[in-house]
């Protein structure tokens, strides 16, 4: 039978999607990207913020039309939205045949078979369960870069975040399992592995021994022949250790790139957010990273308009951004989520003001990014090829400073002697010849 799989949300969700696709393929299901031909449609949903919920619901409703009027025999919802609102969405959208929870991705084949027989509708295990999938993943990234999810859930309990309720407590995957998965990914063509979790820096703290094991995991990954780049996402500032910084200094495969979400820089706002750090410590870790690794690329995310954020708090955040000049920065407006402590806070900020504050920060960051990009003109850099645009005769690549999908690109002009069939995942030397606010322009160095 033909299955259409729609994956929404974050890169951690993408890993779940690829693993479920692997299980379905191993059990004889045929994958299709044509919704008109699909007999089974599965939507892997997100509900982290309001816009993600809206996109998930709209996608389910769109696909439900194929259940009413098309070839679709079974409509299945997986992921965070299904976990969080299973009764509500099943009541509102009766076309749904089964809902698979966040800790039950390894039961997707069971759910599909049950849905076709109109049996059980809910496949939702306790969120503290850790789903282990052994089937080969089906890559939807192209295969030359892959995400490796090293843990599930979160124990931080920030007051704005619903993740602990829909994904459970922090659970690290066994290291042996992760190294096996990584070897399989590299054997199937992965050149870059991107470590993800709600917080990668706490990896191992729940395993026997109860200590941080991220550096040990990275050393194991670095020993895999054929793997060229290891990239870290989602490292909370209070959890970044000297051992990790030392390893980044000395392990060639570990990129000088770190995603360090800080969310704010006002101590009062950080306190209301339930964050486990303060402005002084954030500044200290930024300085340490830049002192020890001068070419490090630091990415962060911020939240504008959190309840109680004053004009002074906002100005402090703008000043903080100007002073620290992050290499990459994104800003979300605060999304009020039912079931979180912040939803009950009385001093909510109007949506218009949230957006205004977000835009002000992004305008500051745009100038910072423009200046930093210009600083690379004339330099030689290594880039990984992500694709080719024939109408412009230009390759699209990324440097160590660019995580796929969230950062910039380098647009590379080939020389007369360059083959135009260079495959994605190829590493090349590039001379940077120009820049924009977020992207670089370069020439291939033969």
Q: What's the domain count of the chain?
A: 3
Distance of alpha carbon 152 from alpha carbon 198, whole angstroms: 7
Say yes or no: 404 and 333 in one domain: no
Residue 25 pLDDT greater than 90, yes or no: yes
Q: What is the pLDDT of residues 135-180, one digit of tens each?
A: 999 998 888 999 999 999 999 999 999 999 999 999 999 999 999 9
Distance of alpha carbon 376 from alpha carbon 297, whole angstroms: 13
What's the pLDDT at 132?
94
Say yes or no: 362 and 404 in one domain: no
Distance of alpha carbon 126 from alpha carbon 395, whole angstroms: 46
Say yes or no: 323 and 407 in one domain: no
Residue 99 pLDDT greater than 90, yes or no: yes
Confidence of residue 422 (pLDDT cuts 50, 70, 90): confident
Say yes or no: 113 and 196 in one domain: no
What's the pLDDT at 415?
77
Q: Taking all residues of the chain, what is their mean pLDDT, rounded to a whole number?
A: 94
Distance of alpha carbon 110 from alpha carbon 103, whole angstroms: 14
Residue 221 lies in a domain: yes
Q: Which residue has the higher pLDDT, 395 or 418?
A: 395
Residue 118 lies in a domain: yes
Residue 128 pLDDT greater than 70, yes or no: yes
What's the pLDDT at 198?
94
Residue 139 lies in a domain: no
What's the pLDDT at 199?
95
Once rounded to an integer, what is the mean pLDDT over residues 52-73? 90
Cα separations (Å) of 118 from 97, 111, 251? 7, 10, 53
Lowest mean per-residue pLDDT among 43-57, 99-113, 194-208, 217-231:
43-57
Distance of alpha carbon 21 from alpha carbon 430, whole angstroms: 36
Domain termination site, one of 328, 343, 372: 372
Beta bridge partners of 263: 302
Say yes or no: 299 and 213 in one domain: yes
Residue 287 pLDDT greater than 70, yes or no: yes
- CB half-sphere exposure, 20, CA atoms < 13 A: 31
C-beta pairs of 347-353 under 8 Å, 24+ apart in sequence: 347/307, 347/308, 348/307, 349/305, 349/306, 349/307, 349/309, 351/305, 353/305
Say yes or no: 118 and 177 in one domain: no
Phi, psi (deg, nearest 5) at residue 12: -70, -40
Residue 416 lies in a domain: yes
Share of the chain above pLDDT 70, in %: 99
Residue 131 lies in a domain: no
Say yes or no: 418 and 354 in one domain: no
Residue 393 pLDDT greater than 90, yes or no: no
Domain termination site, one of 372, 403, 418: 372
SS3 label, residue 164: helix
Say yes or no: 403 and 366 in one domain: no
Distance of alpha carbon 106 from alpha carbon 129, whole angstroms: 11
Residue 82 pLDDT greater than 80, yes or no: yes
What's the pLDDT at 52?
87
Residue 256 lies in a domain: yes
Domain that holds residue 99: 2-123
What's the pLDDT at 9?
87
Phi, psi (deg, nearest 5) at residue 227: -85, 125
* CATH number of the domain residue 430 falls in: 2.40.50.140
Domain termination site, one of 372, 407, 433: 372
What's the pLDDT at 133?
94
Q: What is the DSSP string of 343-382?
A: GG-S-PPPHHHHHHHHHHHHHHHHHHHHHHHHTTTT-EEE
Contact call for residues 110 and 86 (beta carbons, < 8 A):
no
Which residues are CB-contacts of 288 (< 8 A; sequence separation ≥ 6)?
245
Contact call for residues 294 and 339 (beta carbons, < 8 A):
no
Say yes or no: 252 and 346 in one domain: yes
Report the Cα–Cα distance between both ends of the chain, in Å, rounded. Answer: 48
Residue 199 lies in a domain: yes
Q: Which residue has the higher pLDDT, 253 or 67?
A: 253
* CATH number of the domain residue 322 falls in: 3.80.30.20
CA 371 distance to own-chain centroid = 26
Residue 428 lies in a domain: yes
Beta bridge partners of 257: 297
Say yes or no: 341 and 390 in one domain: no
Distance of alpha carbon 11 from alpha carbon 8, whole angstroms: 9
What's the pLDDT at 420?
66
Distance of alpha carbon 86 from alpha carbon 79, whole angstroms: 10
Distance of alpha carbon 412 from alpha carbon 414, whole angstroms: 6
Once rounded to an integer, what is the mean pLDDT over residues 376-401? 94
Residue 419 pLDDT greater than 70, yes or no: no
Say yes or no: 108 and 176 in one domain: no
Confidence of residue 35 (pLDDT cuts 50, 70, 90): confident
Say yes or no: 293 and 403 in one domain: no
């Amino acid at each position: 039978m033909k299955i259409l799989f729609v994956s929404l949300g974050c890169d951690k969700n993408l890993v779940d999607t690829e693993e479920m696709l692997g299980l379905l393929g191993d059990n004889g299901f045929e994958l299709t990207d044509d919704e008109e031909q699909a007999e089974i449609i599965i939507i892997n949903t997100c509900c982290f913020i309001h816009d993600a919920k809206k996109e998930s619901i709209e996608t389910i409703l769109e696909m439900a039309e194929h259940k009413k009027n098309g070839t679709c025999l079974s409509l299945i919802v997986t992921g965070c939205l299904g976990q969080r609102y299973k009764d509500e969405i099943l009541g509102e959208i009766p076309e749904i045949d089964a809902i698979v929870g966040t800790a039950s991705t390894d039961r997707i084949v069971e759910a599909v078979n049950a849905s076709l027989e109109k049996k059980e509708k809910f496949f939702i295990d306790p969120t503290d369960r850790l789903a282990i999938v052994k089937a080969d993943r089906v890559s939807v990234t192209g295969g030359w870069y892959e995400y490796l999810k090293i843990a599930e859930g979160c124990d931080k309990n920030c007051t704005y975040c619903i993740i602990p309720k829909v994904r459970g407590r922090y659970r690290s995957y066994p290291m042996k399992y992760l190294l096996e998965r990584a070897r399989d990914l590299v054997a199937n063509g992965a050149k870059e592995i991107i470590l993800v979790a709600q917080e990668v820096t706490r990896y191992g703290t729940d395993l026997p021994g109860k200590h941080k094991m991220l550096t040990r995991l990275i050393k194991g990954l670095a020993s895999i022949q054929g793997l060229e780049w290891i990239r870290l996402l989602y490292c909370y500032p209070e959890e970044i250790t000297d051992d990790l910084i030392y390893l980044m200094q000395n392990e060639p495969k570990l990129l000088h790139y770190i995603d360090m979400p800080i969310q704010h820089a006002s101590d009062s706002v950080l306190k209301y957010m339930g964050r486990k750090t303060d402005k002084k410590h954030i500044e200290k870790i930024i300085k340490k990273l830049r002192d020890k690794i001068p070419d490090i690329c630091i990415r962060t995310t911020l939240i504008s308009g959190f309840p109680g954020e004053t004009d002074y708090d906002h100005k402090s955040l703008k000043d903080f951004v100007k002073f620290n000049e992050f290499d990459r920065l994104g800003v979300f407006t605060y999304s009020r989520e039912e079931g979180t402590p912040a939803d009950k806070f009385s001093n909510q900020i109007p949506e218009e003001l949230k957006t205004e504050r977000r835009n002000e920060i992004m305008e500051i960051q745009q100038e910072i990014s423009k200046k930093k990009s210009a600083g690379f003109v004339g330099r030689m850099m290594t880039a990984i090829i992500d694709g080719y645009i024939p109408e412009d005769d230009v390759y699209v690549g990324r440097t160590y400073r660019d995580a796929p999908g969230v950062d910039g690109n380098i647009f590379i002009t080939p020389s007369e002697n360059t083959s135009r069939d260079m495959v994605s995942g190829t590493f090349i030397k590039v001379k940077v010849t120009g820049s924009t606010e977020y992207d670089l322009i370069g020439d291939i160095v033969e």
